[in-house]
């Protein structure tokens, strides 16, 4: 399929075009690409097929998507599984019976998914330990007596991140990914950013692997304020260090508060005090309740038999604000988001370059800041020329927007700022209402949408664009326009673009 780039020459009849059908399932990625072959026929590539578990009717929507793919082709030349997140791979499990009728020649994954790779093994251990730690934190939060509003919200958010992204134990997303891998019957390729570009003369195409990086620091770098569109870095280095430490300790026995001033055997947990029995224990529990951890007591009722004593008319002071015994579990929220973002950073990122024109189409999956920054030093020798990561960005005319338009998935200067083509166009695979239900805030991020609209001269399509959902008029731009040569769509299901 690939050959030495030094001997590559443009095909005698260059295709120079691509059709992409973006599916619009809410929060999730599924993209069906087709490239015309020189001499006839089409080369089919499917990039991911999943939906966020919070999306109402998501399983049925995926079934409809796979059924639609079957109307286009039941032969996939290459299936790309970008990374191990439910909203990218769930369909291979929920629609497994439908996929049985497909033939898949090869599966591409990032080196981070290679079970034989030592560094990938370390990453996998980190994920397993982190999920174990978060399960333990969730159990501790469930057992909290009289939890505060903060603890209740923390517990809900923690379970949401883990359940939505990985399944309760991480096994669900792994099963979905493996179901996708199994479709190729052993023809599996783990791709590296140092690989030479794959040359397809019959398609007039070069395919570059941009990420994920091998640099562990960049893999772990999910936010950098100087490269984000006005968003602030959410967590401190100390809390991240504590979160990782908790992951390691929880994998052994139970979560240990590594920032506590005393050893774990010193003192008695407040929950244990409240559950203690016996006269002395009851007195201690009452003291703690009244002076340290308890909510306000209701006013006492008058006692007719004691007429000379005035009844209590005011409740005792609320002392529950003093409790901090469960607050340290707040670092579990940071660990959950760190795990989620670090998995995004392992995304397989592909750039498609038309050999005859040099124009580039970028599919960034959910790559976050560290993945993007690694492209700045990336280079490939193509014949007598050297191609660099910034060069590919400068020639990009189509961008599948990273991580549903989140605040830390499209860098400012070393990302969108390097895409200089006047006919740039973009697609954002997200539904803002679904993102709000999950509690993700601004997704897609307003500042990024504004920058994209300016850079793309309005040629920005979203999965929830009113003309796709049937709630508004057609796109503001006319097709053909820029890199978009034609446009069609099926309401609430897909939008298809022919690009050149």
In this predicted model, which residue has the larger pLDDT, 159 or 296? Answer: 159
What's the rounded Cα separation, in Å, for the pair 84 and 93?
Answer: 13
Q: What percent of the chain has pLDDT over 70?
A: 73
CATH code, domain with 113: 3.60.15
In a domain, 110, yes or no: yes
Overall domain count for the chain: 2
Indicate if 311 and 401 belong to the same structural domain.
no
Whether residue 97 is found in the same domain as residue 204: yes
Q: Of 324, 351, 370, which residue is a domain's last?
A: 324
Q: 377 and 312 in one domain?
A: no
For residues 316 and 182, membership in a common domain is answered with: no
Residue 479 resides in a domain: yes
Tens-digit pLDDT profile for residues 418-442 = 999 999 999 999 999 888 876 666 8
Q: Is 107 found in the same domain as 206? A: yes
The Cα–Cα gap between 145 and 270 comes to: 9
The pLDDT value given to residue 266: 62
Q: Same domain, yes or no, for 67 and 210?
A: yes
- What's the mean pLDDT in 106-110? 98
Q: What is the C-alpha to C-alpha distance for residues 428 and 425, in angstroms, rounded to an integer? A: 10
Which one, of 178, 166, 177, 156, lies nearest residue 52 by Cα? Answer: 166
- pLDDT at residue 237 is higher than 90: no
In-domain check, residue 258? no
pLDDT at 321 over 50: yes
d(CA 23, CA 249): 42
- Considering the domain architecture, whether residues 346 and 404 belong to the same structural domain is answered as yes
Q: How far apart are CA 213 and CA 377, in angstroms?
A: 11
| Closest among 448, 369, 431, 359 to 398, alpha carbons compared | 359
Is the residue at 5 inside a domain?
Answer: no
Of the candidates 228, 230, 226, 246, which has an alpha carbon nearest to the alpha carbon of residue 238? Answer: 246
Alpha carbon 122 to its chain centroid, in Å, reads 20
* Residue 356 scores a pLDDT above 80: yes
> Of the spans 188-197, 253-262, 442-451, which averages the highest pLDDT?
188-197
| pLDDT for the residue numbered 81 | 98
Pair 37, 202: CB distance under 8 Å: yes
Residue 335 is assigned to a structural domain of this protein: no
**pTM, entire model:** 0.78
The whole-number average pLDDT for the span 225-249 is: 53
Q: How confident is the model at residue 253, as a pLDDT?
A: 37
* pLDDT band at 248; cut points 50, 70, 90: very low
Same-domain status, 312 and 416: no
| Residue where a domain terminates, one of 299, 324, 349 | 324
Pair (184, 94) in one structural domain: yes
Q: 268 falls in which pLDDT band (50, 70, 90)?
A: low
How many residues are present in the chain?
500
Same domain, 305 and 356: no
Q: Looking at residue 267, what is its pLDDT?
A: 66
Residues 6+ positions from 259 with CB-CB distance below 8 Å: 242, 328
Q: Beta strand pairing status for 75-80 and 42-47? A: parallel
pLDDT digits (tens, 9 = 90+) for 43-101: 999 999 999 888 889 999 999 999 999 999 999 999 999 999 999 999 999 999 999 99
Q: For position 300, what pLDDT does the model report?
A: 52
The predicted-structure confidence for 154-173, as pLDDT tens digits, reads as follows 777 677 666 655 665 557 88
Q: Note whether 303 and 417 are same-domain residues.
A: no
Residue 368: band (very low, low, confident or very high) from pLDDT cuts 50, 70, 90: very high
pLDDT, mean over the chain = 82
Confidence of residue 272 (pLDDT cuts 50, 70, 90): low
**286 and 399 assigned to the same domain:** no
449 occurs within a structural domain: yes
- Crossing angle of helices 118-142 and 237-252, in 10° steps, is 90
CA-to-CA dists, residue 229 to 364, 409, 413, 445, angstroms: 18, 10, 10, 9
pLDDT at 261: 58
Domain membership flag for residue 7 = no
- Give the largest Cα separation in the chain, rounded: 108
**Is residue 1 domain-resident?**
no
Give the end of a domain, one of 292, 324, 356. 324
Q: Which has the higher per-residue pLDDT, 283 or 18?
A: 18
For residues 225-242, give the mean pLDDT: 58
- Range of 39's domain? 13-125+161-233+340-499
């Amino acid at each position: 399929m690939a050959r030495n780039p030094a001997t590559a020459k443009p095909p005698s009849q260059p295709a120079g075009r691509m059709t992409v059908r973006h599916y619009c399932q809410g929060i999730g990625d599924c993209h069906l690409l087709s490239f015309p072959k020189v001499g006839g026929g089409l080369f089919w590539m499917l990039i991911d097929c999943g939906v966020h578990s919070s999306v109402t009717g998501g399983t049925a929507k995926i079934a409809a998507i796979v059924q639609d793919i079957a109307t286009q082709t039941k032969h996939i030349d290459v299936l790309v599984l970008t990374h191990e997140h439910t909203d990218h791979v769930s369909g291979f499990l929920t629609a497994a019976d439908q996929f049985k009728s497909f033939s898949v020649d090869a599966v591409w994954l990032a080196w981070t998914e290679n079970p034989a790779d030592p560094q990938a093994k370390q990453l996998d251990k980190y994920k397993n330990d982190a999920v174990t730690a978060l399960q333990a934190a969730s159990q501790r939060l469930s057992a909290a007596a009289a939890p505060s509003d903060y603890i209740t919200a923390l517990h809900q958010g923690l379970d949401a991140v883990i359940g939505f992204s990985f399944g309760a134990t991480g096994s669900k997303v792994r099963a979905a990914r493996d179901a996708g891998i199994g479709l190729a019957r052993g023809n599996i390729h783990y791709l590296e950013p140092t690989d030479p570009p794959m040359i397809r003369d019959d398609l007039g195409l070069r395919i570059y692997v941009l990420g994920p990086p091998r640099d562990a620091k960049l893999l772990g770098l999910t936010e950098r304020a100087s490269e984000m569109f006005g968003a602030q870095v959410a967590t401190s280095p100390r809390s991240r260090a504590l979160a990782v430490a908790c992951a390691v300790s929880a994998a052994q026995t139970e979560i240990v508060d590594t920032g506590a001033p005393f050893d774990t055997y010193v003192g008695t947990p407040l929950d244990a005090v409240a559950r203690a029995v016996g006269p002395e224990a009851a007195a201690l529990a009452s003291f703690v309740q009244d002076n340290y951890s308890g909510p306000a007591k209701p006013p006492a009722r008058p006692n007719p038999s004691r007429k000379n004593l005035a009844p209590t008319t005011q409740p005792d002071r609320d002392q529950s604000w003093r409790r901090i015994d469960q607050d340290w579990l707040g670092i579990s929220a940071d660990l959950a988001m760190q795990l989620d973002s670090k998995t995004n950073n392992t995304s397989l990122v592909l750039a498609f370059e038309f050999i005859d024109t040099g124009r580039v189409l970028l599919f960034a999956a959910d790559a976050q800041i560290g993945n993007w920054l690694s492209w700045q030093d990336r280079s490939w020798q193509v014949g007598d020329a050297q191609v660099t990561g910034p060069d590919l960005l400068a020639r990009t005319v189509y961008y599948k927007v990273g991580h549903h338009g989140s605040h830390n998935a499209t860098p400012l200067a070393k990302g969108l700022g390097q895409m200089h083509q006047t006919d740039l166009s973009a697609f954002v695979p997200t539904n803002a209402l679904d993102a709000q239900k999950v509690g993700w805030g601004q997704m897609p991020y307003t500042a990024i949408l504004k920058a994209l609209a300016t850079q793309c001269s309005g040629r920005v399509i979203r999965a929830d664009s009113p003309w796709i959902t049937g709630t508004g008029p057609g796109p503001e731009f006319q097709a053909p326009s820029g890199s978009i040569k034609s446009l069609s769509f099926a309401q609430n299901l897909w939008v298809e673009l022919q690009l050149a």
